Amino acid sequence: MTLRPYAFLMAPITALELAEHVVTGGFVAQQDALTALYRTARQNEVSDVLVAVASDDTEPRAVRERALGRIVVQLARTAA
């Protein structure tokens, strides 16, 4: 799955690359791209619990990162 999180980027970004950016830069820096990823996850019947945890800014960062990783894995499986 490929996202285009920013209008000024010419090259698309994969869900895995987005997850890597979140690990290095945090969730806030990638908010627009994450919103698109969560929408795509919901459309592809990824676990609602995973999406809720990953998108909840009151959850600890490590918990959100783990949920995000699992979303990426589930999306990769639906794309295969």
Please tell me the predicted confidence (pLDDT) of residue 28: 87
Task: Give the model confidence (pLDDT) of 14-72 as tens digits.
Answer: 888 888 888 888 888 888 889 989 999 999 989 999 999 999 999 999 999 999 999 99
35 belongs to a structural domain: yes
Residue 17 lies in a domain: no
CA dist 19 to 22, 56, Å?
5, 16
Residue 27's domain comprises 23-79
Q: How many structural domains is the chain composed of?
A: 1
pTM of the model: 0.79
pLDDT at 70: 94
- Is residue 4 included in any domain, yes or no? no
Phi, psi at 27, each rounded to 5° = -70, -40
Q: What is the pLDDT of residue 79?
A: 75
* Domain-embedded: residue 7: no
Q: How far apart are CA 20 and CA 25, in angstroms?
A: 9
The pLDDT score that the predictor gives to residue 7 is 44
Is position 42 within any domain? yes
